[in-house]
Amino acid sequence: MGLFDEGKVAVRVGVNEMQPKALNPRIPYGAEEVAADAIECSRAGAAIVHFHSRTDDGAQALDDDGNGAGIYRRAMELTAAECDIIMEPTNLPRGNDPSRAVDVPHLWALVDNPPQGTRLEVVNLDGFRFGRAGWDNDEQRLIVINGRVWDRGATFEGPEVIRETIARGLVPCFGVFDLGDTRMLSAFAAAGLVPRPVLLQINFFCDLMTGPTPSIDALDAVLAEWRRRDIDSEIFLFVRAMPDRASYEALFEAAIDRGVHPRVGLGDNPHLFERNCDMVEHAIEMAGRKGLEPVSAATLRARFEPSTANI
Position 95 scores a pLDDT of 65
Task: Dump pLDDT digits (tens) for 202-211.
Answer: 999 999 999 9
Position 188 scores a pLDDT of 93
Position 55 scores a pLDDT of 92
Position 308 scores a pLDDT of 47
For the chain, the DSSP string reads --TGGGTEE--EEE--TT--TTT-TTS--SHHHHHHHHHHHHHHT--EEEE--B-TTS-B-S-TTSSS-HHHHHHHHHHHTT---EEEE----SSS-TTSGGG-HHHHHHHHSPPTT----EEEEEGGGS--EEEETTTTEEEEEETTEEETTSPP---HHHHHHHHTTPEEEEEE-SHHHHHHHHHHHHTTSS-SSEEEEEEEESSSS-SSPSSHHHHHHHHHHHGGG---EEEEEEEES-SSHHHHHHHHHHHHHTT-EEEE-TTT-TTT-S-HHHHHHHHHHHHHTTT-EEPPHHHHHHHHGGGGG--
Select from 3.40.50.10790, 2.60.40.10, 2.40.50.100, 3.20.20.70 the CATH code of 4-130+158-309. Answer: 3.20.20.70
Position 307 scores a pLDDT of 53
Position 192 scores a pLDDT of 92
| Residues of the chain under the 70 pLDDT cut | 93-96, 128, 306-311
